[in-house]
Structure 1
Amino acid sequence: INYANPDSAPYGGASVSLLALWQQLASRPLTLSASLCGPEAPPARADATFKVTMVPGDGVGPELMTAVKEVFKSGDIPVEFEEFHLSEVQNMASEEKLEQVLTSMKNNKVAIKGKIHTPMEFKGELASYEMKLRRKLDLFANVVHVNSLPGYSTRHNNLDLVIIREQTEGEYSALEHESVTGVIESLKIITRKKSRRIAKFAFDYATKKGRSKVTAVHKANIMKLGDGLFLQSCAEVAQLYPKIKYENIIIDNCCMQLVQNPYQFDVLVMPNLYGNIIDNLAAGLVGGAGVVPGESYSAEYAVFETGARHPFAQAVGRNIANPTAMLLSAANMLRHLNLEYHSQMVSDAVKRVIKQGKVRTRDLGGYSTTGDFVHAVVENLRHRPVS
C-alpha cells in the first residue's frame, strides 16, 4: 500500500478491495506487515558512505549539530553531511534556499534537522518554512519516543511510550483570514484519507515494534465532524488489526492521565495540534525537551529531529544546551540507515553518560556544559552496552 495514496489499488490497479487487502496484510507474520511502516533504507555495506542532509535551524540547533558531527567523527561513522542553513529569523530565508534544502532531502532521502523558528508576527505569509518542508515532502507522520533514561529519576520511572502525530493538516493548515474587521476565522482541515493513513501508520508501527495497544486522542465530543471523522477512521483501521488493542481518549482527559498514570499508554495517535501539545507534556515526564528524540516520515523520506521542538534561543552561545535528544535522534537515524552497530554505539554512549551521573547539563540538575557532555559521550563510544 502506498502511504502517499492509501486508497489506491496496489500492483498497478489490480482489482483487490482495500478492506480485503488490509485484512490480508494485518494477518500476515510481523516481519511482512511491519515492512509497511515508513520508507525503506538501502542495505548497509562495509564500504558505503551515506549522504544525509543537515539543517541546523535556529536557537541552539547549530550547537547541537556540532555535537552530532563531533560524535560521528570520533566514532568513524560512515555518514557525510550536506549542510544547509535555513532560518526565518536570521535573514537566511529565501525560496531559493528552501528549494536547495528540498532538493538535497529528495536526493538523500534522509535528513537531520534542528528547529526552524517561526516568528510570531505576521509578515504576509501564513505558512512557515517548517510547514512548507512537511507539505512538499509529505512528512505526514511525526514519531516521538518517550523513554525514561537509565539513572535519571523522575516522578514516573521506566516509561516507554510513543506519540504519533499527523502533521500535514488539522489546525496547522495556514488557512486563516479576517472575515470582517476584528473577526478572524481559522480553518481546521481533517480528511478521511489522511486520518486513515496516520491510523494505519500507527498500527503498522505497533505491529513492527511488538507493541500491544494503540490509543486515538481526539475531541470528537465537541468537534463532532472534524474529530469525529478522525476517530471514525481510526476505529475502522483498528478492525484490521485484531491483535492490537484499540482505545480512544478525549484530549483533555489524556493530558491529565499522562500526568497521573502514563503507564496505561503504549502508542498514541492523534491530529496535528494535539500532538504538538502532548509531545511537550510527555517530554516533561522524562526530563524535558532536551532528552526526547523524534522523527518525521513520508512514504519516501525520513527526517530526524528532537521530539519536542524548541529553539532555546535564551541558551544560544552559553554552552548549556543538552545534546541528548539530538544525539539519540542521530542514533535512530543510523538505525534507519541499517547502521545498527554505529546506532547502538552512539545510543549506549549517551545513556551511559547519563546513567553514570557525573556529567549532566543544567536541565537535568547538573552543572556540566554542552562540551563536557559531548566529550563524555566520545570517551564512552567504544565501551560495552548499557544494561
Structure 2
Amino acid sequence: METVTLIPGDGIGPEVSRAVQKVIDAVGVDIEWKEVNAGAGVMDKYGTPLPDKVLDSVRKNKVALKGPITTPVGSGFRSVNVAIRKKLDLYINLRPVKTYKGAPTKFKDVNYVVFRENTEGLYAGIEHEVGEDAAESIKIITRKASKRIVKAAFEYAKRENRKLVTAVHKANIMKLSDGLFLETAKEVAKEYPEIEFNDRIVDNMCMQLVQYPDEYDVLVMPNLYGDVISDLGAGLIGGLGLTPGANIGDEIAVFEAVHGSAPDIAGKDKANPIALLLSGVLMLRHLEEFEAADRVENAIAEILAEGKVLTKDLGGEAATTEITEEIINRL
C-alpha cells in the first residue's frame, strides 16, 4: 500500500480531488490517503494559507496529489502553489502537452513536454517598492538551478526515447541572466550527444508552437516562460481542463492540474476532473503503477473520442460525477 498526501484545495478542488480518488480506487491501486488542506479556507483557523502540517505530511509521505488553490490577484497572501514548490525544493515543473482525439482543438499529433524551472527566476518573489510610483522585481538565475532542470529534461528525453530538447530563453535581451541559463543548457547538452539540442527565443517559441507544434519534443526553460508556454500549450490541445502537471524534487513529488480553482462553478457539479485525473496518471507512473496508469489514460481517451459524456468546457453537458462514473465504467 502506498501512502499519499491529499490536499483537496478550494473552489472546485474538493470535487475534482474526490473524482481522482474514486477512479484510482476503482482501477485497483491500494492507496492510503492522508488528507490535509491549504488555501483561503484555512486562513481563519491557522493564520496562514499553508500550515506546517501540510508540508510535514508531504515530507513524510514523499508523494502528494493537490487540488487547485486560489491565489489572490494584486493583494493578499502569495501563491500557496509557489510556496510549496520552494519550501520542498520541487525544482521540476513537468507539464505534458498532448492532443487526444475528440478534444475541442484543430491541432493533431501535438505531444511535447514542458520542463519549467520551479524555484527561482521572477517567481523568487524578491520585489519592493521604489518610492510611491515604482516597484522592482528581481530575477534570479543561478548555474546550479539551471543545470539541474536542464539535466532533468535530458534524462527524461533519454528515458522516454524523446529525440530533441529545446532550451527556451530571452538571452538576446537579458544577456546575463538568460545568457547564463542558455550557456548552462549548452554545456549540459554536450553530455547527451545522442539527443538533438537546439534553442529558441521565447517569443519566437510561442509563434513556432502555434505554427508547428508537432516539431517539438521536450522544452526546458526558466520559471516565468514555463508558466506562459504551458498555458499556450493548453490552448493547443483543447484547454486547461486537459492539461496535467507535476512538481518534482530529488525525493518528493506533488501532482496537480494546471488550471485554477474556478470558484464561480464550485459546488455545482460542473467541473471537469480530467486535468487532475491526468495528473493522477502521472502520479501512478511515478509510483510505478504503469498498468493502472495506462488503463486510466485509455479510459479518458475513449470518452474524449466518443464525445458523448463531456463537461461543458469540452463541448458537452455532463456533470463532474457523470464523467467520473463513465471513466470508472470503462475501467
Fold similarity call, TM over 0.5? yes
* AA partner of residue 343 (structure 1): A
Check conservation: 2:98, 2:110, Cα contact below 8 A: yes
Contact 2:104 2:315 in 1 (8 A): no
**Residue identity in the other structure for 1:326:** L
- List per-residue Cα deviations over 1:216-254 (Å, max 9, x = no partner): 111111111111111111011111111111111111111
Q: Is the 8 A contact 1:217 1:269 kept in 2?
A: yes
How much has 1:97 moved relative to structure 2? 5.5
2:277 is aligned to 327
| 1:59 equivalent in alignment to 2:11 | yes
Name the residue aligned to 1:98.
51
Q: Higher Cα Rg: structure 1 or 2? A: 1
Q: Is the 8 A contact 1:89 1:118 kept in 2?
A: no
TM-score (norm 2): 0.95
1:190 aligns with 2:137: no
**CA deviation after TM superposition for structure 1 residue 342, in Å:** 1.9
What is the CA-CA distance between 1:340 and the residue it aligns to? Answer: 1.9
Distance 1:128 1:352 in 2: 35
| 2:247 maps to amino acid | S
For 2:24 and 2:41, the matched residues in 1 are separated by: 29
- Which of the residues 259, 273, 284 maps onto 1:309? 259
Q: Please, which of 193, 199, 207 is the counterpart of residue 158 of structure 2?
A: 207
Instruction: Return the alpha-carbon distance in structure 1 between the equivalents of residues 10 and 166 of structure 2.
Output: 33
SS in 1 for 2:70: coil
Asked if 1:110 corresponds to 2:63, the answer is: yes
- How far apart are 1:73 and its partner, in Å? 3.0
Q: Which aligned pairs between 1:263-278 and structure 2 lie closer than 5 A? A: 263-278=214-229
Q: Is the 8 A contact 1:166 1:270 kept in 2?
A: yes
TM-score (norm 1): 0.82
- Which of the residues 313, 316, 319 maps onto 1:369? 319
User: How do 1:1-387 residues align onto structure 2 when only pairs under 5 Å count?
Assistant: 49-88=1-40, 91=43, 94-95=47-48, 98-123=51-76, 127-152=78-103, 154-306=105-257, 308-381=258-331
Contact 2:50–2:80 under 8 Å retained in 1: no
Question: SS where residue 249 of structure 1 aligns?
Answer: strand
**Percent of residue pairs identical:** 44
Write out per-residue CA displacement over residues 236-285 of structure 1, whole angstroms, 9 at most, x where no aligned residue: 11111111111111111111111111112110001000000111110111
**Stretch deviating more after TM superposition (149-158 or 139-148):** 149-158
- What is the identity, as a one-letter code, of the residue corresponding to 2:93? N
CA contact (8 A) 2:150 2:188 kept: yes
Contact 1:150 1:351 in 2 (8 A): yes
Asked if the contact 2:12–2:263 (Cα under 8 Å) also holds between the matched residues in 1, the reply is yes
Q: Which has the higher contact order (CA 8 A, sep 6+)?
A: 2
Structure 1, 114-123 or 171-180: larger mean CA deviation: 114-123
**Inter-partner Cα distance in structure 1 for 2:283 and 2:42:** 27
CA distance in 1 between partners of 2:177 and 2:65 (Å): 32
Distance in 2 between residues matched to 1:326 and 1:192, nearest whole Å: 33
TM-superposition CA deviations, 1:124-168 (whole Å, max 9, x none): x6x432222111110000011111113336221121100000010
| Partner in structure 2 of residue 31 of structure 1 | none
Separation in structure 2 between the aligned mates of residue 244 and residue 81 of structure 1, nearest angstrom: 39
8 A contact 2:241–2:274 mirrored in 1:
yes
Whole-Å separation in 1 of the counterparts to 2:139 and 2:82: 15
On the 8 A contact 2:116/2:220 being kept in 1, the answer is: yes
Shift of 1:179: 2.3
Count of aligned pairs: 330
Q: CA deviation at 1:122?
A: 2.8
Q: Distance between the aligned counterparts of 1:364 and 1:118, measured in 2?
A: 25
Give the superposed CA RMSD.
Answer: 1.6
Counterpart AA for 1:83: E
What is the CA–CA distance in structure 1 between the aligned matches of 2:170 and 2:18, rounded to whole Å? 41
